[in-house]
Chains A and B, each alone.
Chain A
Amino acid sequence: MDSVGNVPPKTLTGTFDIVETYHRILEDDPEITMPVAAIEALVELLAQTDAVTVYETLDLIQTQSAFLKMNIPNSIPLQAGTELFQQYILSCLKPSKTSSGNFEAVRQHLVSNGRLFVHRAKNARDMIARHGQNYIRDGNIVLTHGGSRVVGALLRKAADVKRAGGNVRFKVIYVVKDQRSIECRTVIDSLRAKGIPVAEIDEGTVAYAMRKVDMVIVGAEGVVENGGIISRLGTFQIAQLAMAAKKPFYVAVETHKFVREFILSQDDMESDIDQKIIRFEPDYVEDPTPKTPIRNAVDFTPPKYIAALITENGPNVVAAVSEQLIFLYSV
């Protein structure tokens, strides 16, 4: 490697905007998750940059990741992707038994396999569905919330079991919120198309409905180091109600959403996510709900509420998250 000082600072060719790329990737493929979109954006960055040295590239990735993080309101999920990407490169560069340490090879691999990563991420979802379908037994009523694609895939898989002649008849109670009914709509319609009876309820009805429910399955945007989840606003209260009613609360989530953040309560997210959910107004305002992106607002559910994380590697206890992360970032 050349000494850094001798190399003229090379920047990006043309006008590459990582934030715009990230948004475009998310829009192009509605099935993609935020961490994977961030990884994809970094892959594009890697393809377009003419940085040659290791240091230059790493520095570029780092600054661009930080820039992306700054410009996205809810940055914790994408942070899972950018950190995984950086850590992967770092671990590959370290010459060891498990790595050749050849930077160019690593770069080539990442640049040329962008679609593969997306494909793997989607496969992970399918695997979660396969593992998760076992949770749903005949006669169960499952409560879910938000438009999680993993949960949708899981429920559809369980419905397929029913169609394949299995004896699983289950019902779904779907907590629907007006602000983002569109994403729920797709899941609900696909379930009804498979013959699963779905009840749509309002968030205020959850406590009332909980007695009928056998289990709660939700998705997550990110899983933090202690095993707690960052998920759509309203998940936390459902988790609390489920625990009060002694109903198991499962989280279906891919391992690439594990993120090295240690969040203990809602307040801890504020440095990363400024949601402006609670606004104190001295005077009467016409519409008390904030205009800011409530559609994407999230909350944090502590690990003690979570019975198990259903990942592509099978059901995991929450304690396994920290172990995986520590191992990953100590390489």
Chain B
Amino acid sequence: MSTPTEASPDSGHGKPQADHADQARTLVQHVADLRAWLFLAALVVGFEFWARVSFGGTFILNTFNLQSIAIFAVAPLLLATGQTFVIISGGIDLSLGFIMGLAAVVAAHTINAVTPGAGLLVGVLAGFLAGVAIACIPGMINGLLVSRLKVPPFIGTLGMFGVARGTAFLLAGGTTVPVSNNLFAMIGNGRIWGIPYIVIITAVFMLVMHYVLSQTKFGQHNYAIGANVQAARRAGIDVKGHLFRLYVLSAACAGLAGVLYSARFNAGAAQAGEPLLLDCVAAVVIGGASLFGGSGTILGTIAGALVIAVIQYGLVFVNVEPFWQFISVGVVIIISVLIDQAQRRFAGGRVDE
């Protein structure tokens, strides 16, 4: 810019205003940002204590427990990753659970059809591709509904929830589809240095998604759209195109979850993601995202998904009736949202009514 910096000949204004945001980042805010990890730490310590006191065992220092929790967290975490992107944009995707089931069934069928002629490896690759690709179709429809036809995400994806569910059951013939491919079964159940392959695949995928959300234009625009869609549009962001890609991405995450499910159980099932429908939303919210959009991180969501997995596995481990799982997860969600609200108030930022 070639303009003079020394301007303001007539000084109608006083000193520059104090930057009162300086002290805003209080301890409360730090705690709130890390709350999912703190929850997780508290849970682990709690279960460890419980295990030692009640039967003299250890909870967390047991490799089998760690592996089980990690495997347990894979599917909800993959769904929650897609959901994190959608929730940050201010939407919600209710169809993910059954898109996962659809992908599981299609992956199973594809592997069974391809393996006899083309071998184990090609069969597995075809299964992965078909599972993720088929998931993108309901994702595209969700995207079109939300971006072009202005259907509220809650309703549009609720419709797709039903469509994906019915289609998955029809394709599965109302039952589960067993897979016969040893390589696929090995991916689903094998491990290297004690770490299950599906956990490694999920971890790598998380890394990529974390990068996309925090370091790319796509991620940046996602936050902007969630905070102020009008501002995003005025800034020249292609909001429609973004929302379309967003719902395809979230469906693709569910597709990957479906394929890994088939690998783990050696069978595709339409109801694979049914219990995870709302678990994935819960993981995102516990992880610090706001359902109003504009905030959330992949790291938070990972902690959120682990919190749910630890509660569910831990309560079984210490031999408590399984119904307590629902109560505990519910309580954690509520506390998490309360902390979020308190944080906004303490931070002195603008609170939307």
Does chain A bind chain B?
A: no
**Which A residues lie at the B interface, using CB under 8 A?**
none
